[in-house]
Amino acid sequence: MITSEFVTAAETMAGVLGAPGLPFVTVPHPISSATGQALAQTARDATAACAAILTAP
């Protein structure tokens, strides 16, 4: 999981570490200023996206 600000860095690191194309979940940036309600929704959405990646064939 990564915030949108760091997608390029995450993709680069995945490639350097031998996992190009590694799927990951992106959440909006920044999260530090999100309200509790917005952060809770982001967490619910990210949880569902993580589950989809982890259970994909």
Confidence of residue 22 (pLDDT cuts 50, 70, 90): very high
DSSP assignment of 1-57 equals -EEGGGHHHHHHHHHHTT-TT----EE-S--TT--HHHHHHHHHHHHHHHHHHHH--
Task: Tell me what pLDDT residue 54 has.
Answer: 96
Note down the domain range covering 26.
2-55
Domain count along the chain: 1
What does the pLDDT read at residue 3?
97
Please give the structure tokens belonging to residue 54.
């982890």
Question: What is the pTM assigned to this prediction?
Answer: 0.82
Confidence of residue 44 (pLDDT cuts 50, 70, 90): very high
Return the percentage of the chain with pLDDT > 70, whole number.
100
Q: What is the mean pLDDT of residues 24-35?
A: 95
